[in-house]
Amino acid sequence: MTIITYDYFMPETHAAPERFPVTVDVVALTVRDGELNVLLITRLIEPFRGKLAFPGGFVLAGEDLLEAAGRELAEETGVEHLPGHLEQLGSYGPKGRDPRGDVLTVAHLLLAPDFPVLSAGSDAEQAAWYPIRDVLEGRLELAFDHARILDDALERAKSKLEYSPLGAAFCGEEFTIAQLRSVYEAVWGTRLDPRNFHRKATGTPGFLEDTGRMTTGDAGRPAALFRLAPDARPTPGQPTRAVLNPPLMRPQAVDPK
Amino acid sequence: MTIITYDYFMPETHAAPERFPVTVDVVALTVRDGELNVLLITRLIEPFRGKLAFPGGFVLAGEDLLEAAGRELAEETGVEHLPGHLEQLGSYGPKGRDPRGDVLTVAHLLLAPDFPVLSAGSDAEQAAWYPIRDVLEGRLELAFDHARILDDALERAKSKLEYSPLGAAFCGEEFTIAQLRSVYEAVWGTRLDPRNFHRKATGTPGFLEDTGRMTTGDAGRPAALFRLAPDARPTPGQPTRAVLNPPLMRPQAVDPK
DNA sequence: AGCTTTATTGTCAACATGACGATAATTACC
DNA sequence: GGTAATTATCGTCATGTTGACAATAAAGCT
């Protein structure tokens, strides 16, 4: 049996290595009025003209993936400094994603507090927030394989909330327990018991930090303002290590005997 | 303010989209003699000649990523049908990974039972299993950014065991609870209490299925043989949905009132 | 002042977990 | 062949966590 070994740039390789156009796409999620929303642009050109798509574009020479994703998002929203947490989601392709040819795309996930996107002129691809529900229930159609990527993004977001402190990435710097809870409710599509949620959120070591400040002006009793504890703060791009998980099967040390 | 929008293949874009060589790498993990091992090839050419690297190679035209990863792994190990579970890990680059130029690589993770790799002639890049410990403790050096990728792979593998039934991917079709436990111990680098592990593994609904068969010939009392329950079986390539997790904060429905 | 609203604390039963004792069913050894 | 060693499996118990829900606190509203 012959073993064929390919190697980067190896002259012996049968042909020059294939090169692919590489794009980054960003699935930006936020919670508005208790509903999960996603940032989409309206395509002005074919293919999928008039359909909605994630902000994104080509990776440029000398750029890394996360860098490119941040740049594209900033460009297409007109927002200079992105709030929230950006991380890589996964890569798709290159086969059969684009009618014009093979394109590899590296999808990213942004979990962010609600931020306003710039209203561009009518000749630009307008970015705007759309309720996820409208996409899932078929009232809005996405271009390319973006519906599938959105599914993966939602799955990722849901499990992030389960095992990491990243729910707080949807909130601003300071937030109340109720605001945090509404994030969980929106992402999971469930209602949570406010009392048990409060107990768990405040009772998890290394998760929240009381700022000492309170809300004022809202209806009802004022709420304490919290922020993420230093250890729980995400490093942008880094897969966040879960801080607060009672996992399935825990590394449970035992006397070596 | 001007908004610059890039678009795939858009003629108005400043220049033709950059194209990158795209490779797939496979971090193949297995457990041998209670120790976590990784499959590596010895590089025969520069750069990093003599250093160890993951099996991998270029994505070919018309191929999807997972497909390419499986093909490369099969070619470089001489193994026709790969056992275990293969999934995408993440993408790295393209900047500064290879002294010869920008290369994007999509790393994959294989969790597999121990399988023999083909011994090739001395002119081929020989694939072999190496104890992870030797890499982590610096006795073996990896090429490119593979040390960093290995770190990410280990992190992923560890959390897969916590939240998914994928520990069983390291075992064969049928296995004993003790074999499964030794997987957890090897990946996590801890000892687990056999009695509590047994209780948890057999007591988790939708995880294991008793085959009715037993081991024979080994020392000690014969053990019951289990296999993964149908629902827990991974779909290759798909991020496995956790079946057995007591998560941090669980979607806990509450009367809508 | 009293009602409404939201936040927060507390209680309790059911369940899960970690530590570890006891027993069962084999092979290994003399 | 009997006893020891080995491994698997079941059981117990104290402690911790969870889900359900009552009660209290502190604001705004009328």
User: For A103-138, what is each residue's pLDDT tens digit?
Assistant: 999 999 999 999 998 876 556 678 999 999 999 999
Predicted confidence (pLDDT) at residue B202 exceeds the cutoff of 50: yes
Predicted confidence (pLDDT) at residue B13 exceeds the cutoff of 80: no
Q: Which residues is B42 bridged to in the sheet? A: B52
- Our measurement of CA A217 to C1' D28, in angstroms, reads 8
Is the peptide bond between A94 and the residue preceding it cis, with omega within 30 degrees of 0? yes
Q: Is the CB of A257 under 7 A from strand D?
A: no
Cβ neighbourhood burial of B174 (10 Å; 0-12, 13-18, 19+)? middle
Q: What three-state secondary structure class fits B154?
A: helix
Q: What is the pLDDT of residue B187?
A: 94
- The distance of B240 to chain A (nearest Cα, Å) reads 11
Contact residues, chain A, for B159 at CB < 8 Å: 163, 242
Q: What is the pLDDT of residue A80?
A: 87
Q: Are strands B19-32 and B104-111 parallel, antiparallel or unpaired?
A: parallel
Of A107, A71, A6, which Cα lies nearest the Cα of B21? A6
Long-range contacts of B45-49 (CB under 8 A, 24+ apart): B45/A7, B45/A10, B47/B98, B47/B99, B47/B100, B47/B143, B48/B143, B48/B144
Residue A19 dihedral angles phi and psi, to the nearest 5°: -115, 145
pLDDT tens, position by position, B142-180:
999 999 999 999 999 998 998 889 999 999 999 999 999
What angle separates helix A146-163 from helix A177-188, to the nearest 10 degrees?
140
Q: Which two tokens stand for residue B21?
A: 């060589």
What is the pLDDT confidence band of residue B12, given thresholds at 50, 70 and 90? very low
CB B4: neighbour CB atoms within 10 A?
A: 12
Q: Which of the residues B10, B58, B102, B119 would you substitute to probe the A interface, choosing the one with the greatest number of A C-beta atoms within 10 Å?
A: B58
Cα A235 to Cα A240: distance, rounded to the nearest angstrom: 7
DSSP state of B237: B
Contact A20, B19 (CB under 8 A): yes
Q: Give the DSSP H/E element, type plus range, for residue A106.
A: strand A104-111
Which residue has better confidence, A252 or A180? A180
Average pLDDT over every residue of A44-65? 92
Least confident span in A213-217, A242-246, B28-32: A242-246
Counting one residue from A and one from B, how many pairs have CB atoms under 8 Å apart? Answer: 232
Average pLDDT over every residue of B210-222? 93
Cα A187 to Cα B157: distance, rounded to the nearest angstrom: 26
Cα B88 to Cα A135: distance, rounded to the nearest angstrom: 26
Contact A197, A234 (CB under 8 A): no
Are B6 and A57 within 8 A, CB to CB?
yes
Which protein residues have their Cβ less than 7 angstroms from some atom of strand C? Answer: A 176-178, 194-196, 198-199, 202, 218-224, 246, 250, 252, 254-255; B 193, 195-196, 199-200, 214, 216-222, 246
Predicted confidence (pLDDT) at residue B6 exceeds the cutoff of 90: no
Contact A26, A121 (CB under 8 A): no
Q: What is the pLDDT of residue A115?
A: 92
Question: Given the structure tokens 């694939």, which residue do they identify?
Answer: B127
CB A122: neighbour CB atoms within 10 A?
A: 7
List, in order, residues 6 or more apart from A121 with CB less than 8 Å away: none
- Our measurement of CA A35 to C1' C7, in angstroms, reads 22
Contact B234, B240 (CB under 8 A): yes
* Residue among A45, A101, A248 whose CB faces B245 most closely: A248
Contact residues, chain A, for B54 at CB < 8 Å: none
HSE, side-chain direction, 13 A CA sphere, residue B35:
11
Q: What is the pLDDT of residue B125?
A: 78
Task: Inform me whether the C-beta atom of residue A79 falls under 8 Å from chain B C-beta atoms.
Answer: no
* Per-residue burial over B184-221, b = 16 or more CB atoms within 10 Å of its CB, e = otherwise: bbbbbeebbeeeebbebbeebeebbeeeeeebeeeeee
Which residue has better confidence, A18 or A201? A201
Q: Which two tokens stand for residue A56?
A: 């994104």
Query: Can you tell me the ipTM of this complex?
Result: 0.86
* Residue among B60, B161, B249 whose CB faces A184 most closely: B249
Average pLDDT over every residue of A43-59? 92
Q: Are strands A224-228 and B85-92 parallel, antiparallel or unpaired?
A: unpaired
Q: What is the pLDDT of residue A1?
A: 38
Task: Inform me whether the C-beta atom of residue B119 falls under 8 Å from chain A C-beta atoms.
Answer: no
DSSP state of B53: E
Task: Report the largest interatomic distance among the alpha carbons of chain A, rounded to a whole angstrom.
Answer: 77
